[in-house]
Amino acid sequence: MIVNVRGYITSKDAEAYKDCADHYACNLQLHRFAIADGVSKSFFPKLWSKILVDKAVEQTCDEDGALEDCRKEWLSQVTRRVSRPEVKWFTANAFLRQEPALSTLVTLAFDEENMCWTASAIGDSFLFFVPRGREDDMEHWTKLSSKPEPVVFDNFPDYLSSRGGGKGEARHTAGLIEPGTFYLMTDALSEWVFENRGDALRLIQTDWTGQNGFRDSVNRLRHSGVLHDDDSSVLIINVEDDGIGDICYGKVDVSSLEDLVGMEETLQHCKDTVALRKAELWKDIEEIIDNANLSEYAKREIKDQLSKDDALAN
C-alpha cells in the first residue's frame, strides 16, 4: 500500500498562527496520526492539545497511562510558566483556581502486520474514511467522533481535561486497510464536510495541495459564509493499492505549526526592524532639511514631497 499524507493548519481569520489551539502529529515509523482541538476558553489549551497529539503518536503507553502522563506533563509545564516573576495576575489566579485545559482528540493507527487500522475520537473533531469511488455516498463513509447521531455542531463538545475527569467517552472503530482516504479534521472543517459531502472532497482534492492553498481556500470559504471562522486543521491520509502488502509512504506534505509560528514571528520582526530604521532615517532627513538654508515654505514642501514618495514606496 502506498500512503500519501498531507497536513495543513490555520488560525482564525483575525488571529495569528501563535494563537492557534489546534495541533496534529504524525509518526510515520509507527504509522500513527492524531489531531486535537484545544478549547480556546480553557487554561493553556494550546499546550494541552500539543501534548495530547505528541503522546498519541508514541506507541509505548496504554491509553489510561498515556493520559495521566499527558496531565503530568501539562501541569509541569504550566507550573513552570506560572512561577515566572512576570506572570500576569489573571494567569496566576486561574492557576490557583486549578482551571483545566480542555481538548478534543482523534487518533488513527495502522497495524502493518494485520493490514488493519484502529481509530478513536473524543469531542467534535472527526475522522472520516472515504473508500475510493465512494466520495458521493456519505452513507458508505466511516464517520467517527463522540458526538451522538444526528450530529449537531454546537459550543459544548466532549473533551479531555488536563486536570482529570473530562466530558464524554471516547469512541473507537477499526477496519481493514483498503484504498481510500482518511480525513482527520477539527470541528469547523468537519461541519463543512458534513454539509457539502462529495463537493467538499473534490475541493479538498483540487485546492488543498499545500499550506498556502489550504489557507487561501479556508479563507475563501469563511468569507463566503460556508465555513465557521475557527482554528482549522486537517490530516489527509490517502491509501493506494500498489499490490504490495507493506505500508510505504509516498508524498508527505505536513506543515509544522511551530515552523509557521516561527516564520510569522520572523516576518513580524523584519517588518518592525524596517519600521524602526525608517523612523530613524526620517529623523536624520528632517534634521538635514531643518538645517538647510531654506524658507519654512520650502522645507515644508520638501517634507511633503518626501512623505508622498514614501507613501508611494509603501
Partner 1 sequence: MEKKHSKQFSSANPGVVLFVLDQSGSMKETYPEGGSKAAFLHKVVNRTINEMINANMDGETVKDRAIVSLFGCGGKGATEIRTDKLSGFANNPLRIESATQKVSDGNGGLVEVSTQNPVFFEAQAGGPTPLGSTLEVVKPVVAAFMDKYPDSPAPVIIIVSDGLPYAEGVDEEAKAIAEAREIMDLQGNDGSPLIFNCHIGNGANKCTFPSSEDDLHDEQARFLYKISSEVPDSYKEAAAKLELELPDNCRGMVSNADPTTLIKFINFGSSGASQDRMSNN
C-alpha cell at 226: 460556508
Under a CB-based contact definition with an 8 Å cutoff, are residues 185 and 143 in contact? no
* 81 scored as a contact of partner 1 (CB under 8 A): yes
Residue (44 or 126) nearer to partner 1, CB: 44
Q: Which of 63, 65, 92, 213 binds partner 1 (CB under 8 A)?
A: 92
Q: Which of 45, 100, 166, 180 binds partner 1 (CB under 8 A)?
A: 45
Q: For residues 119 and 108, what is the distance between their CA atoms, to the nearest angstrom?
A: 4
Which of 37-45, 131-139, 173-181, 268-276 is the region at the interface with partner 1 (rule: CB under 8 A)? Answer: 37-45
Residue (84 or 283) nearer to partner 1, CB: 84
Return the sign of the alpha-carbon dihedral for residues 200, 205, 209, 213: negative
Q: For residues 39 and 184, what is the distance between their CA atoms, to the nearest angstrom?
A: 17
* 15 scored as a contact of partner 1 (CB under 8 A): yes
Residues touching partner 1, count (CB under 8 A): 36
Strand 142-144 and strand 159-161: the pairing is: unpaired
Nearest to 159 by CA among 105, 107, 230, 119: 105
Site for partner 1 in 184-223 (CB under 8 A): 188
Q: For residues 213 and 216, what is the distance between their CA atoms, to the nearest angstrom?
A: 5
Count CB atoms within 10 A of the CB of residue 270.
10
Q: Which of 93, 268, 305, 307 binds partner 1 (CB under 8 A)?
A: 93
Cα atoms in the Cβ-side hemisphere of radius 13 Å centred on 188 = 21
* 167 scored as a contact of partner 1 (CB under 8 A): no
Q: Which of 90, 169, 243, 288 binds partner 1 (CB under 8 A)?
A: 90
Q: Which of 29, 41, 165, 246 binds partner 1 (CB under 8 A)?
A: 41
x/- map, 144-163, partner 1, by CB under 8 A: -----------xxx------
Residues with Cβ within 8 Å of 237's Cβ and at least 6 positions away in sequence, in order, are 3, 4, 5, 33, 108, 181, 182, 183, 184
x/- map, 218-257, partner 1, by CB under 8 A: ----------xxxx--------------------------
Q: For residues 224 and 215, what is the distance between their CA atoms, to the nearest angstrom?
A: 14
- Catalog residues that contact partner 1 under the rule CB under 8 A: 12-15, 19, 21, 39-47, 78, 81, 88-94, 96-98, 101, 155-157, 188, 228-231
